[in-house]
Amino acid sequence: MSRVTSRDIPDKLVIEPMREGDIPQVLEIEREAFSAAWSEGAYRRELRWNRLARYLVLKEKPDVAQVSGAGDVPRNGGLGARLFSFLKRNPPATTSNNLVRGYTGQWLMVDESHLLTIALHHELRRRGLGEALLIAAIDQAVEAGARIMTLEVRVSNLAAQAMYEKFGFWRVGLRPKYYTDNDEDAVIMTSDILASASFQSRLQRLKEESQKKVGVLWSR
Ligand SMILES: CC(C)(COP(=O)(O)OP(=O)(O)OC[C@H]1O[C@@H](n2cnc3c(N)ncnc32)[C@H](O)[C@@H]1OP(=O)(O)O)[C@@H](O)C(=O)NCCC(=O)NCCS
């Protein structure tokens, strides 16, 4: 996986459903982000068998110019014909050519979404990309008819709690010693009714700000 070195927001970011081919890159982020990381098998089972599960990845698309054979564009014919012929010989990058920069997952249960995970590549944090992923997850929950979104977060994870609070989530309780790696308590947080006017107007404002800031495309 190529290193992210710039403090800038990468170009050509897209959010799309996670596929099995993404799992190795997801695990790299997972192992850095969480002290109790999920295994490859757990992700495979989720993607293959869990009908309640919805996982999204934030990907950086490589430049067409970086795809192999890009220098070999025919010189005759119109631009469209040349592009068509080029793409035919050099199909667009498959999922494995794209760089996974973050991911999120939820279970959609009857009328409730349970946000299971969200993580960003550590060198890309604090640029609004976690927020872009959360927006996509909320949109997905709303489209599936979820009434509310709930989640657990470590008591010590103030960064994530601040992000959820920005979206209007509030604390509804504690699960003592929920995290078995260090017996840490979990804060249970829940959203307002997702379809409510107050939640939607806040979401709309955050979406507009996010579009201006990071301009991530969500391809459903
Ligand atoms: C939580 C996480 C996904 C946030 O992603 P991010 O891209 O860094 O967050 P964003 O830049 O989109 O920030 C969104 C908001 O979150 C809050 N926030 C994020 N990082 C923060 C930090 N280090 N300190 C305080 N607030 C923070 C802020 O409210 C921020 O809004 P602002 O920029 O207007 O201040 C990221 O920190 C991460 O991957 N952490 C490790 C995995 C993890 O803890 N996941 C949550 C499990 S419940």
Contact 100, 22 (CB under 8 A): yes
Task: Note if 164 is an active site residue.
Answer: yes
Q: For residue 165, report the distance from its CA to the centre of ligand 1, in Å.
A: 11
What is the pTM (predicted TM-score) of this model? 0.86
Q: Where are the beta strands (DSSP E) in the chain?
A: 13-17, 53-60, 99-109, 112-120, 148-154, 170-179, 184-190, 217-218
Q: Does domain 13-61+98-218 have CATH number 3.40.630.30?
A: yes
Ligand 1 atom showing the smallest separation from residue 129 Cα: 7
Q: What secondary structure letter does DSSP report for 19?
A: -
Average predicted confidence (pLDDT) for the chain: 86
Cα gap 92→32, rounded to integer Å: 30
Mean pLDDT for the stretch of residues 122-129: 96
Mean pLDDT for the stretch of residues 136-148: 97
Q: For residue 160, report the distance from its CA to the centre of ligand 1, in Å.
A: 5
pLDDT tier for residue 97 given thresholds of 50, 70 and 90 = low
Q: For residue 57, report the distance from its CA to the centre of ligand 1, in Å.
A: 16
Cα gap 150→133, rounded to integer Å: 16
- Nearest residue by C-alpha to atom 38 in ligand 1: 119
The bridge status of strand 148-154 relative to strand 184-190 is antiparallel
Cα gap 125→112, rounded to integer Å: 28
Report the pLDDT value the prediction gives residue 82, as an integer from 0 to 100.
46
Residue 95 has pLDDT above 50, yes or no: no
